[in-house]
Structure 1
Amino acid sequence: MKFFAVAALAATALAASTGLDARTECKPPSYVCKHDNSGWLVCNVDGTFLDGGKCPKGTTCKPINNLPYCV
Structure 2
Amino acid sequence: MKSFAFAALIATALAATTGLDARNGKPQCTPPSYVCKPDHSGWLVCNVDGTFLDAGTCPKGTTCKPINNLPYCV
* TM-score, scaled relative to structure 1: 0.74
What do the CA deviations read for 1:18-62 (whole angstroms, capped 9, x no partner)? 623571610000000001000000000000000010000000000
2:18 aligns to what?
A: none
Mapped to 2, the partners of 1:65 and 1:37 lie a distance apart of 16
What is the root-mean-square deviation in Å for CA atoms of aligned residues?
2.4
Percent identity between matched residues is 70
Mapped to 1, the partners of 2:66 and 2:8 lie a distance apart of 19
Mapped to 2, the partners of 1:13 and 1:57 lie a distance apart of 20
The equivalent position to 1:66 in structure 2, one of 61, 65, 69, is 69
Preserved contact between residue 40 and residue 53 of structure 1 (Cα < 8 Å): yes
Preserved contact between residue 26 and residue 48 of structure 1 (Cα < 8 Å): yes
1:20 aligns to what?
A: 14
1:44 aligns to what?
A: 47
- SS of equivalent residue, structure 1 residue 16: helix
The equivalent position to 2:37 in structure 1, one of 22, 34, 37, is 34
State how many pairs are aligned: 62
Preserved contact between residue 15 and residue 49 of structure 1 (Cα < 8 Å): no
User: C-alpha displacement at 1:13, in angstroms?
Assistant: 4.2
- SS of equivalent residue, structure 1 residue 47: coil
